[in-house]
Structure 1
Amino acid sequence: MSKTKKNEFRPDDFVVYPAHGVGRIVSIDEQEVAGLRLEMFVISFEKDKMTLRVPTARASEIGMRSLSTPDLIDRALETLKGKARVKRAMWSRRAQEYDQKINSGDLMSIAEVVRDLHRNDDQREQSYSERQLYEAALDRLTREVAAVRGLDEGAAQKSVEEVLLSRAA
């Protein structure tokens, strides 16, 4: 067994898995897959009621990472205050880019999606797909803010919304 990945993530650590956001490592198990013994991170995504098994040797290349630093959380929240940057491309193209940013697992990219898709009450309606992407990005951002700052999700959501509302003022 390689010891390199062992030290990077431990049971009870919160990690960010690009396609699913923040999860918690429940255990590190060995499993036999196609005749090979593989060491796996068992990751629980409680809110989604989902458990994922990730081979320890592939965690980094998949893009699994530790939680962001408090400093990076502050920078991401600062990004929310910026002016929305919406390209003049067709929606299907932009939607694809937003989706890639959300699933990149990169906190700053996720914050950019939240900033660009956020609507104040007085602005035009969002389409269904816009709303879905916005909520997915907001959820990822909120969960990471909650995990890093030790808040429950409700409190984290409130602090993110306060930042978004301060932009409008």
Structure 2
Amino acid sequence: MTKTGAKKSDFRPNDFVVYPAHGVGQIVRIEEQEVAGTHMELFVISFDKDKMTLRVPTAKANSVGMRSLSSPDIVDAALKTLKGRARVKRAMWSRRAQEYEQKINSGDLISIAEVVRDLHRAEDQPEQSYSERQLYEAALERLIRELAAVERIEETDAADRIGQMLISRAAA
């Protein structure tokens, strides 16, 4: 089997996939397109929540980090991560913000859960800065969407489940 053949068979129309920079999307179709005189086969991925469509060359899907949804074991590990103690480095905020952004855009569910854990604020904690809240909400949204897709539940139910994990950690 050729390299592109192996990649092509990994993903099919209607599959949910994770694209690192955008989170969970669904492959709508695979289409042929001519780009700069070269015929390419492309995955057409819809991100309904963002009202966005992305076209990814089938041969490049793995190299850009596109992956299938996480396994239930990875989801469990990510949820366990939420229960851990927040690990906030003493580095300057700009440096930490950059690290959080990299974790979010890595597409790795456990890294995303670490960002949610580290940036979560309980009711009795000080207010977050605007940039902290933006990063927290981006990570939380990615985590919610993937949990909902893996467990085939509504995003509101996934959000409730994650919220309960974070509250139980705060109470411990």
Name stretches of at least 5 consecutive residues in structure 2 with no aligned partner.
none
- Paired-residue identity, %: 72
- 5 Å matches for 1:87-166? 87-166=89-168
List, as ranges, runs of 4+ consecutive aligned residues in structure 1 with deviation greater than 2 Å.
none
SS in 1 for 2:61: helix
1:17 paired with 2:14, answer no
SS in 2 for 1:98: helix
CA offset digits 1:50-94 (Å, max 9, x no partner): 000000000000000000001110110000000000000000000
TM-score under structure 1 length normalisation: 0.98
Q: For 2:34 and 2:168, how far apart are their aligned partners in 1?
A: 52
Cα RMSD of the aligned pairs, angstroms, is 0.9
Structure 1 residue 3: Cα displacement: 2.0
Q: Tell me if structure 1 keeps the 8 A contact 2:19–2:65.
A: yes
Q: For 2:96 and 2:140, how far apart are their aligned partners in 1?
A: 17
CA offset digits 1:93-125 (Å, max 9, x no partner): 000000000000011100000000000010011
The match for 1:76 among 75, 78, 97 is 78
Q: For 1:135 and 1:86, how far apart are their aligned partners in 2?
A: 17
Query: Residue 167 of structure 1 aligns with which residue?
Result: 169
- 5 Å matches for 1:29-44? 29-44=31-46
Name stretches of at least 5 consecutive residues in structure 1 with no aligned partner.
none
TM-score under structure 2 length normalisation: 0.97
| Number of aligned residues | 169
Letter in 1 for 2:140: L
Q: For 1:6 and 1:56, how far apart are their aligned partners in 2?
A: 6
CA offset digits 1:11-35 (Å, max 9, x no partner): 0000000000000000000000000
